[in-house]
Amino acid sequence: MTRSVQALAYARSSTLTSDAGGRLLGLETAGGLTPVGAEAHPRFFAGFLTSPQAAARGLLAVADVAATRYHQRTLRASLDPVVTGNGDRLRFESFSGCCGVYARLDVLQGGLDGADTGHGTTNVDVNNPLREALSRLAGDDPLHLRVGPDELAVTTLDGPVVEKKVPLPDRWLRGFAESQVISVGFDLRAELTAAEAVRFLRALPRTAPGAGAARGPMWVVPAGRTLRPTTRPVPGAVCLPGPDRLAALQRVLRHATGLRVYGPAAHDGAPTASAWEVTMPGMRLTLTLSPEPARGFSGEGGVLEALATDEAAGDAELVSVLLAWEPRIDTADLAEQSGLSVPRVRAALGRLGTAGRVGYDVADAAYFHRELPYDGARAERHNPRLVAARALLAAGAVLPGTGDTSTVVSGDRHYQVREAPGGVLSCTCQWWADYRGRRGPCKHALAVRMARRATPAPAPTPPTTAEPAAHVSGATR
C-alpha cells in the first residue's frame, strides 16, 4: 500500500476546561484553506453549543472511526478529523484506517448559538486527554465551543508547538472520492423514531472479523415502524454489511431523535454500500459503510470514468472557480454559470472529489464544498486501474475494432471491449465477469474509453459523382 506522511501542526493541544464562567471546548486547527487562501490556524467558530453532550459524543464518534480499522484490526490507524465551516454549519469528517467507513457529524445552524460560522477546511486536534474529558462530560451546563485559536493565541504565539506526523495511505484519499460518488445514488429507504432506532441498533449482532463475510451480507427491510433482518435483497431492502461497523453510533443513542437509512435499489443480490444517519437536536451523525467489511471504498472505481477524460479535467478547473464554500451545491446553477451540461458538471464534481474538494450529503441530496489539505493528484497517479489503463494506451495496446467493439492486447491475451446502448463498456476479462460494472470499469475498458476520446471523429466523406462510381464498379467486375 502506497503511503505518504501527513504533517499536522497545531498551535497547542485542544482542551476542555472549566472555570467560573462555564466550560470551554477549544478545538485547535492545523493549516487549512479559507476564502482568503491558506492559513496556519484558521478560526471557524466561537459560540455556544445548544446540545453540548450530543455534540461532544458526536465528535467522539467521528474520532472513534478515525482511530479504527474494521478490517485487519490488529493494525492501528489514527488521523485527526477534518472540520469544514460552510457558513451555516460545521462538518466534522473522518475515514476509518481500512477505508470502509466514512463518518460525518453535521452541527447545523440550530445546534450553534453564537457568532457566524466561518468558511474553510482543516484538521482539528482530537487528542487522547481531550477524548477522556469529553467522555466524562455530563450535565446540561452551557458549553462554549471555539474552533480555531483565540485572539490571544493569534497575537502571542511564535509558531506551532504541537506537531503530529501520521501515515496517510493513498487508498484512504481515494476513499473520500469514491464514497461521495456512491452516495449520489442513494435514496431514503427507511426512517425510524428515536425509540425504534435505539431498539434496532442495540439489537444488532456483534460479528467477529471475517465472520460476516463468511455468512454473506446482511439485509434489512422496513417492517411497520422498525427494520426487520432478511437474508436476501427483497424490494425495498437495504444492505447492512458488517453491522459491527455501526458501533460508533452507540455514542449518541441517548440523544437520538430518529434514524434514517439510505441506500441504492437492491439488485442481483450483490452487497451494496449504505448510509446510516442518527438525527439529534441541531445535528446529525452519518456513517457510510462500504459494500463489504474487507472491501474499502478506494477500490470501487466510481470516479475512474471522470479521471480518464481530459474533458472532465478542464471542466473541473472551470467549476472549481465557481465554488464558494456552499453548504449545498446546486448542480443546475453551476451548469448555468459555467455553460456546461448538468452531466458534465457532475463529472467535474466527481473529479474534484478525488482531490477532496467536494463531498456529498445524503440528507440534503446535494454536494457541498470543502478543501481537504491532501494531494489529490497523488491519489490519482497511484490509482492502479487508471495507471494500468494509461500504460496500455501508451503501449498501443488498443487496436481498432469494428462497430462498437475494440480489442485490447494485454500480455499474450486479447480482450474484446464492447459498447452497449447508453455508453456502458463491457469486457471479456475476469474483472468484468466478476463484477459486471458494479466496481467501475476494468483497465481494458478504461483504455478503450481514453483511446476513443483521444481520437477525433472521422471527417465525413465527400459525395462522389455518379460517373466515377460507375467506372470503379466496372473496373471491379
CATH 1.10.10.10, the chain: domain bounds: 304-378
SS3 assignment, position 295: strand
The answer to whether the Cα torsion of 153, 154, 155, 157 is positive or negative is positive
Give the type of residue at 74: T
pLDDT number for residue 473: 35
pLDDT number for residue 145: 93
8 Å CB contact between 301 and 171: no
What is the spatial distance between Cα 375 and Cα 15, in angstroms, rounded to a whole number? 29
Q: Which residues contact 77 (CB under 8 A, 6 or more apart)?
A: 66, 67, 68, 69, 96, 97, 98
8 Å CB contact between 236 and 221: yes
CATH 3.10.150, the chain: domain bounds: 181-205+217-298
pLDDT number for residue 462: 46
Scored b (16 or more CB within 10 A) or e, 141-151 reads: eebbbbbbbee
Q: What is the pTM of this model?
A: 0.82
Fold annotation for 181-205+217-298? DNA Polymerase III; Chain A, domain 2 (3.10.150)
Q: Name all contacts of 373-377 with Cβ < 8 Å and 24+ positions apart.
A: 373/6, 373/30, 373/31, 373/32, 373/33, 373/121, 373/122, 373/123, 374/6, 374/168, 374/173, 375/4, 375/173, 376/173, 376/177
Q: What is the dihedral of CA 135, 137, 143, 147, to 10 degrees?
A: -20
| 304-378: CATH architecture | Orthogonal Bundle (1.10)
The vertex-378 CA angle with 184 and 33, nearest 5°, equals 70
Reported residue count of the chain is: 477
The 3-state secondary structure of 270-287 reads: CCCCEEEEEEECCEEEEE
Give the type of residue at 14: S
DSSP secondary structure letters along 173-240: HHHHHHHHHHHTT-EEEEEEEHHHHHHHHHTS--PPTTHHHHH--EEEEEETTEEEEESS--TT-EEE
Residue pLDDT tens, the chain, 477 long: 556 677 888 989 999 998 776 789 999 999 888 998 889 999 999 999 999 999 999 999 999 998 888 877 655 556 789 999 999 999 999 988 888 899 999 999 999 997 789 999 999 999 999 999 999 888 777 889 999 998 644 444 455 568 888 776 666 777 777 788 788 889 999 999 999 999 999 999 876 544 444 456 789 999 989 999 988 888 889 999 899 999 999 999 999 999 999 999 877 778 889 999 999 999 999 999 998 888 877 655 556 666 666 677 788 889 988 998 899 999 999 999 999 999 889 888 877 877 778 999 999 999 999 987 666 566 566 677 888 888 898 899 999 777 789 999 988 899 999 988 777 889 999 988 888 777 778 889 888 888 887 654 444 444 444 433 333 333 333
